[in-house]
A and B are shown apart, each in its own frame.
Chain A
Amino acid sequence: MKRRSRWFEFHLHPAGMLAFMIHRLTGIGLVVYLYLHLWILNTLRQGSQAWDTFLQMMRSPMVLLLDAVLLFGILFHGLNGLRLSLVGLGIGLRWQKWLFWGSLGVAVCLTICGIWIMV
């Protein structure tokens, strides 16, 4: 039997599949981030010197970029999660595509605002 999971596939009319893909990617990213976050908090135990060095490192442009990716991940995953909860309850099924593009649009706009504030 030819079965393979196909989480990543692009089509001409992609809304549902695109939402499916980004939701999973951001979900995996957020789980990875959760562990990273716990590891980072662990530096607090190593004294104020270690924490100050860490904070210094956090101000580098590269890390700020990662922060922006994280912000987008949280926003999109949350908003699309809301969309999935609604359609899962049979609400707004007809507008599911627009709800997706809306979630994506709002996530992108708020991420841009976030970058604006950060830099």
Chain B
Amino acid sequence: MKFISVRLHIWRNTHWEDFTVQVSSEAYVLDALEAASEQDKSLLFRHACHHASCGSCGLRINGRERLACITPVKDVINTLGMIRLEPLRNFPLIGDLLVDFKPFMQQLDRIDLPLRRSAELLSKEINIDSFKRVFNKAALDIPEISPGFNRLENCIECGLCVSACPIAGTDILYSGPACLAAVGRVLSEPRHRSVMDIIELVDNEHGLWRCHAAFECSEVCPAGVDPAREILALRSHILRNNFKS
């Protein structure tokens, strides 16, 4: 296996600090970061799954929001062998590369339904028509809807979209792309929830109408959620409804 030397240029609250580590040429940024943390155990960062599933390792890598666990070192290392790492923007900073997700999760929590991740039992009372829009036919062909069927949700709550959004940086109360995309998701699969109640949460100047269509959220989203599209489609839905009534 070929090894390469990487200099991680890391923002540490008040100053930049460099860590030089040896990693495999096939390593990911998170591997390099873990090697750096061997040199200094006080280095703060978050990770868990190592495969773009838990959404906890989001960073700004060379200024761009990415998941450290799926970003190959060789894709982002510059000619001087350096990679610049900074914490996500628009979140309270805990320290080093670690930000506080609590306000973000609280926002998402208000929308609730599309983000329930635990294996949920699908029962017959669920509106199968709305499911047809989400799941492919094959999934519906499972004879008895099996207990433990895991709803496959795209958003991994990584917060990259919030960090990339230029508006989240100017309006502290802005709901943010992930939260608004979640509302769009509820709309496409209401599951007996009152859609109007949920839309009301974001039908205001700090919600849906704050987006300025910079499309940065969709550029950085690692899960293909395309929040910008969801937000603007939701707007169009509300406008149409308002015209009708």
How many whole Å from B120's CB to the nearest CB in chain A?
30
> How many residues of B are counted as interface, with CB atoms below 8 angstroms from the partner's CB atoms?
28
Is A6 part of the contact surface with B, judged by Cβ < 8 Å? Answer: yes
Nearest residue (CB) in A for B172 is A3
Is A38 part of the contact surface with B, judged by Cβ < 8 Å? Answer: no
Q: Is the CB of B92 within 8 A of A90?
A: no
Q: Report which residue of B90, B228, B232 has the largest number of chain A beta carbons within 10 angstroms of its beta carbon.
A: B232
- A4 / chain B contacts, CB cutoff of 8 Å: 89, 169
The contact of A89 among B91, B168, B228, B236, by CB within 8 Å, is B236
How many whole Å from B119's CB to the nearest CB in chain A?
33
How many whole Å from A109's CB to the nearest CB in chain B?
24
CA distance in complex: A89, B170 (Å): 23
Q: Is the CB of A84 within 8 A of B169?
A: no
CA distance in complex: A88, B237 (Å): 11
Near B by CB (< 8 A), chain A positions 60-101 give: 84, 87-91, 93, 96-97
Nearest residue (CB) in B for A94 is B229
A93 in contact with B233 given A2-B90, A5-B170 (CB within 8 Å): yes
- B189 / chain A contacts, CB cutoff of 8 Å: none
Q: Is the CB of B91 within 8 A of A16?
A: no
Nearest residue (CB) in B for A14 is B219
- Residue-by-residue, is B205-245 near A (CB-CB < 8 Å gives 1, otherwise 0)? 00000001111101100000000110011011101000000
- B168 / chain A contacts, CB cutoff of 8 Å: 3
CA distance in complex: A61, B155 (Å): 55
Near B by CB (< 8 A), chain A positions 19-49 give: 19-20
- 7 pairs from A and B in contact (CB 8 Å cutoff): A3-B172, A16-B214, A16-B216, A17-B166, A20-B213, A89-B236, A90-B232
Interface residues of B (CB under 8 A from A): 63-64, 87, 89-93, 166, 168-170, 172, 212-216, 218-219, 228-229, 232-233, 235-237, 239
Interface residues of A (CB under 8 A from B): 1-7, 9, 11, 13, 15-17, 19-20, 84, 87-91, 93, 96-97
> What 8 additional pairs, Cβ within 8 angstroms, besides A3-B172, A89-B235, A90-B235?
A2-B90, A3-B89, A6-B169, A16-B218, A17-B166, A17-B214, A20-B213, A90-B232
